[in-house]
Amino acid sequence: MLEQRIQRQFFDSADLKYQAAEALSRPIADAAQALLGSLTGGGKVLVCGNGGSAADAQHFAAEFVGRFERERPGLAAIALTTDSSILTAIANDYAYEQVYAKQVQALGQPGDVLIAISTSGNSANVLAAVRAAHERELTVIALTGRGGGALATALADTDVHICVPHERTARIQEVHLLTLHCLCDAVDHQLLGEQDPA
């Protein structure tokens, strides 16, 4: 029955979130501290990904620049997925693999953070962005699944890897979104202290 199939989706998603809670809470906390250190030091956050991960990048930047659940001054975040002129110019003049790396090279400064989102960990343009981030002395927060792919071995010791323990793209993306909300909440908590959301 269709209803049972739909219920299975909910149950599978909930089961993964329970499993991931313990495994991912430490790296998510480390990522929140990296974001807080950058922002309070005058830095900014760059975010990139493809497809659903591009949507997550934009979602996260919107929560930072606008607000998450509580009123506060906007936080500096840029989704590298949004400027069609930049994306198409770089893809046309160089290669699609460079669409995020060129932006990191142009916008990234030492002390900034790059959030690199790839469910497989193998997206060539995200890997190129990570290499560019290291060259510009940015800290990288990688959101992956499926063991982390090539991205897992591309990270530096000072980077943070949040790897969802699952193989299915939809489930990984659901935990990525929860992770991004956890990061927003953690940063707000550190900046604003204990308050009820507006």
Q: Is 118 known to sit in a ligand binding site?
A: yes
- 59 labeled part of a ligand binding site: yes
122 is in an annotated binding site: no
User: Is there a binding annotation on residue 25?
Assistant: no
Query: Is residue 193 helix, strand or coil?
Result: coil
Tell me: is residue 123 an annotated ligand-binding position. yes
> Diameter of the chain by CA atoms?
55
Instruction: Please tell me whether 53 is known to bind a ligand.
Output: no
Q: 82-111 burial, b if ≥16 CB within 10 A, otherwise e?
A: eeeeebeebeeeeeebbbbbbbbeeebeeb
Q: Do 142 and 160 form a contact (C-beta atoms < 8 A)?
A: yes
Is 134 labeled as ligand-binding?
no
Question: Is 19 assigned a ligand-binding role in the annotation?
Answer: no
- Is 181 a known ligand-binding residue? yes
User: Exposed, middle or buried by CB within 10 Å (0-12, 13-18, 19+), for 156?
Assistant: exposed
Is 85 annotated to bind a ligand? Reply is: no
CB 161 within 8 A of CB 27: yes
58 carries a ligand binding annotation: no
Task: State yes or no: 84 annotated in a binding site.
Answer: no
Binding positions for Zn(2+): 59, 63, 173, 181
Q: Which residues are annotated as a binding site?
A: 50-52, 59, 63, 92-93, 118-120, 123, 173, 181
Q: Residues annotated in the binding site for substrate, as ranges?
A: 50-52, 63, 92-93, 118-120, 123, 173
